Structure 1
Amino acid sequence: METDKILIRVDVRDVDYINKIIEAYDGLGIVHTVNSREGIVAVHVTPDTAPDVLAILKHLRVNIEFL
């Protein structure tokens, strides 16, 4: 299975929130904390789920920097 990675930076207090949101959409993506001190998170997605995950992330009321 081909996978892609969406790399983002969020406030460290929001890492768990991002994880729970993506987990709530069962099977849409897998969240991996790359650097907990800097709030860098990778969301592993498939080419089919990437557009949905991007849309979800863009609509959250959290400051997200796409890396």
Structure 2
Amino acid sequence: MGTIRRLFQVERLEINYLRVTIESYDGMAVVRTIDPHTALIELGISPGCEDVILELLESLRETEGIRIKEVSNRASKTLRN
């Protein structure tokens, strides 16, 4: 099973905060900026970690007020490592 890819639209000023926060969950996910101008990011989520990462995103929405909107659900597409 490969890495799960999910696309999200966020606020430009939040990209680094999200990257540091998400990647602090060692080995669970990485954040890649697809388009810095439109603040489109891709999460590469390790197999078996999707629920934890999605719960983290929901918590950031609720507690931090960060706007995170999934743009495209590409969860069925995976990258081979």
TM-score in terms of structure 1 length: 0.92
Identity of aligned residues (%): 25
- Unmatched segments (≥5 aa) in structure 1: none
| Runs of at least 4 residues off by over 4 Å | none
Whichever structure has more strand as a proportion of its residues is 2
Q: Which residue of 2 aligns with 1:15?
A: 15
Aligned equivalent of 1:63, options 64, 67, 81 = 67
Matched residues, number:
67
- Unmatched segments (≥5 aa) in structure 2: 72-81
Residue 66 of structure 1 aligns to which amino acid in structure 2? E
Which protein shows a greater Rg? Answer: 2
- Distance between the aligned counterparts of 1:23 and 1:41, measured in 2? 13
Q: Secondary structure at the match of 1:56?
A: helix
Deviation string, structure 1 residues 11-67 (Cα, Å, up to 9, x no partner): 100000100001111111011000000111001012301111111011102011111
Over the aligned positions, Cα root-mean-square deviation in angstroms equals 1.0
